[in-house]
Amino acid sequence: MTLQVVADLVNSYRDLMDNRSDQRVKDWPLMSGPLPTLLICVSYAYIAKVVGPRLMRDRKAMQLKGPLVAYNLAQVFFSMWLFYELLMGGWWNRYSFRCQPVDYSNDPVAIRMAHACWWYYFSKYTEFIDTLFFILRKKNEQITNLHVIHHGVMPMSVWFGVKFTPGGHSSFFGLLNTFVHVVMYTYYMLAAMGPQMRPYLWWKKYLTAFQMVQFVLMMVHAFQLLFIECDYPKGFVWWIGMHALMFYFLFSDFYKQAYKNDRKHKKDDDAVAVTDKKTEAVTQNGHLKEVEKKEAVNGTVHSSMNGCVQRSETNVDGVRSLMKAVAPLKESDIEEPSKNVSIGFWERFSLNFPMFCIPDQTVLLQNH
């Protein structure tokens, strides 16, 4: 009984692959069955997360500026060509955005669309090189779960489309995606050229949002067929729509985390900037700047010249506190400064009003 069930499953599988798929593509590379693509995707994920980082662990990161720029430029042109082929294969003037059945004929335009779909499938393998560059440059923090899932799932997902529906309604997915990749790889190419390009990359934060808009459009375009009659397989409507939904939430989570971190870093930078301004207002080259009639802690600074603060009986505690804030001096250093600090910094005294001179920060650090 069990053997019969297995035999029936095998026969059903062969019937699906050989008879129910598009006969035009069955002899094309990697189109005989899903196993080769599945093995490639699993191997990619294992290499990306385990083998690659392990091989580079004790090696120096490679500087690959030239190859990186060339690769991204090639991807820009490849994506542009794919976008053009998908347009000429139907989306420019023959296809309907409302409902578009697959043309399984040998019409030249239909064949052109089928070829464009296969090359789009092939492009998912070329994108593995993104991860290879991360590995060789030891940018392991860039090999996120989102990155691996996105690159690892796409070849398998597109394979089913090419095998059964190379064209028609679902090819809108590839049309949008290739356009997004033109923009995306243009950004990567410019970023790879070096820091001199940073002023022109202000639109970086919009890339993820751009991809999220792409997935929303894919969902709307696919799921509309659930509410209208169209000679297009409902299974692929769900296949495309759910993939777009999954990637939307993955990219949305990434966007929120990145935006949250950016805001945190901005707050930290602002806090540092404020601190630097306050410090700059008080110190210059490690000494107190000239201050006239400004309040100090627990007292008033009456005057200050040449890096020293004049002391009166009403501001001893205030100056002492201010000195501690500027440099981590001990109480003994203030009362008897000659113990730890060169006397050259403490030689200014007034007969009527003793003066404290704040030593240079570098010397303080050397002496403590």
Residue numbers annotated as active site: 150
Q: Contact 319/311 with Cβ under 8 angstroms?
A: yes
Q: Tell me the three state secondary structure of residue 287.
A: strand
Q: Which of 230, 28, 61, 52 is nearest to 143 (CA)?
A: 52
**Element (DSSP H or E) covering residue 304:** strand 304-305
**Residues paired with 288 in a beta bridge:** 283
Q: Tell me the three state secondary structure of residue 337.
A: helix
As a dihedral over the C-alpha atoms of residue 61, residue 64, residue 68, residue 69, rounded to 10 degrees, the angle is 140
DSSP structural state of residue 49? I
Q: At a CB cut-off of 8 Å and minimum separation 6, what does 278 contact?
A: none
Q: Which of 180, 182, 179 is nearest to 190 (CA)?
A: 182
Q: Contact 114/22 with Cβ under 8 angstroms?
A: yes
Q: How do strand 304-305 and strand 294-296 relate by DSSP bridges?
A: unpaired
Q: Which of 249, 109, 99 is nearest to 166 (CA)?
A: 109
Whose structure tokens read 């540092």? Answer: 272
In the chain, % helix, strand, coil (3-state, to 5) comes to: 70, 5, 25
**Element (DSSP H or E) covering residue 68:** helix 65-86
Q: Which of 148, 141, 156, 166 is nearest to 23 (CA)?
A: 166
Token pair, residue 329, equals 């001096």
Q: Which of 199, 111, 120, 193 is nearest to 159 (CA)?
A: 120
